[in-house]
Amino acid sequence: MELFEIAGAKWLEQDIARIVVSRDQIARRIEELAGEITECYRGKELTVLVLLKGSVVFLADLIRRLPLKIRLEMMSASSYPAGAVDSQELRFAVPAEAELAGKDVLIVDDILDTGRTLRAICQEVKSRKSGSVRTCVLLKKDRPETVDRIEPDFCGFAIEPEFVVGYGLDFNDLYRNLPDICTLQPHVLTGRFGGNGSAGRTGENLGD
């Protein structure tokens, strides 16, 4: 497996178990997503609200393919405090200075898991009297047991409920620079969590 065509990357490649979504698949799907979003917002000004940090690579590739007038707002959200392996209290804040009233807002996130994070943010944006609110996620986990999960308006890929990194997604703030979306070797996860592996972490650092 050659993730990087440069010397010195072997240590990184040794941490990777397999590629879930390749860089070529990502590029093709982003072109398709851009077409879908453009058709939806044609002739309109769009406010894109992105969740940091995992979505930044996806966002950068996506918005450069949107021939629209775009305003960009950024926010952070977390349900995994440092060192936690289970989703805990959700914390987020839509920027107070963000001008959302009357705007068409597209929320961009990396992973949809339980949907708790995305639902809460949608409710907050709607409370700011936005004109419309839609969602776009890079990955959606297959969670048939999750009842009444919010479904994204635009989705890159549906994947199994497993922990993935790369293309902006991290583990302990590492691996965001991988060009493909990958799973990690078990020794990487067990080394971080002292033998518990990824038992409580089946998604990216939000995974919610």
Give CA–CA dist 175/163, Å, rounded.
Answer: 12
E strand intervals along 44-197: 45-52, 69-78, 91-93, 104-112, 132-141, 154-159, 181-184
pLDDT of residue 42: 96
Q: What is the pLDDT of residues 23-68, one digit of tens each?
A: 999 999 999 999 999 999 999 999 999 998 999 999 999 999 999 9
pLDDT of residue 78: 64
pTM: 0.83
Amino acid at position 178, single letter: L
Angle at 157 between CA 151 and CA 161, to 5 degrees: 80
**Domains of the chain, CATH where assigned:** 24-159 (3.40.50.2020)
Phi, psi (rounded to 5 degrees) for 196: -85, -10
Catalytic, out of 109, 110, 113, 180: 113
Q: Is 113 a catalytic residue?
A: yes
